[in-house]
């Protein structure tokens, strides 16, 4: 259902609720009032449901519009000239990011394990490897940790 259709459905449900409420106020007999009370209750439920649908759809539309704005800003952003330093331009050349220095865990058996970082976890070290996975080693098996 499109937002416009949902809004139209909500307006129709609200009009029906209004008409049923007015008719209930004009009803003379208790039977008519009871019957119209059930119509009003049903109409209120339909208005509530239609309003919920409209609010949900409006939020989705707003989220989509926000995404469109972000995409358009990204498309409008100037592209970096990666060759600026080689073309004798006044701008400073772009340097590639330096690789993160690895720490070396030297085991008592002579093995050397390179990791991005380590954390102490009870009787072990949790080593974060260059592939972002973790490896646990016992503290008792570690001879030293060499930081760059």
Whether residue 60 is found in the same domain as residue 110: no
Q: Are residues 109 and 62 in the same domain?
A: no
Confidence of residue 62 (pLDDT cuts 50, 70, 90): confident
Q: β-strand 124-128 against 117-121: which pairing, if any?
A: antiparallel
Which residues is 106 bridged to in the sheet?
Answer: 112, 144
Residue 22 in any domain: the answer is: yes
- The answer to whether residues 65 and 109 belong to one domain is no
What pLDDT, in 10s, does the model give residues 79-88?
A: 665 665 555 5
d(CA 57, CA 79): 35
Strand partners, 126: 119, 136
Does residue 107 sit in the same domain as residue 70? no
Question: What average pLDDT does range 113-118 have in this prediction?
Answer: 90
Q: Give Cβ neighbours of residue 66 (< 8 Å, ≥ 6 apart).
A: none
Model-wide pTM > 0.75? no
Q: Are residues 16 and 61 in the same domain?
A: yes
Residue 88 belongs to a domain? no
* Full domain range(s) for residue 142: 103-146
DSSP secondary structure string, 49-74? HHHHHHHHHHHHHHHHHHHHHHHHHH
Number of domains in the chain: 2
pLDDT of residue 107: 93
């Amino acid at each position: 259902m499109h937002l416009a259709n949902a809004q139209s459905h909500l307006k129709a449900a609200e009009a029906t609720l209004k008409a049923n409420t007015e008719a209930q106020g004009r009803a003379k007999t208790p039977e008519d009032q009871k019957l119209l009370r059930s119509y009003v209750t049903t109409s209120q439920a339909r208005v509530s449901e239609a309003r919920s649908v409209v609010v949900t759809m409006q939020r989705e539309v707003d989220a989509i519009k926000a995404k469109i704005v972000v995409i358009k800003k990204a498309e409008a952003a100037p592209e970096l000239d990666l060759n600026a330093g080689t073309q004798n331009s006044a701008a400073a050349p772009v340097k590639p990011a330096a690789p993160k220095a690895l720490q070396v865990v030297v085991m008592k058996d002579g093995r050397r394990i390179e990791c991005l970082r380590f954390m102490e976890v009870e009787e072990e070290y949790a080593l974060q490897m260059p592939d972002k996975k973790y490896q646990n080693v016992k503290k008792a098996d570690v001879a030293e940790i060499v930081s760059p």
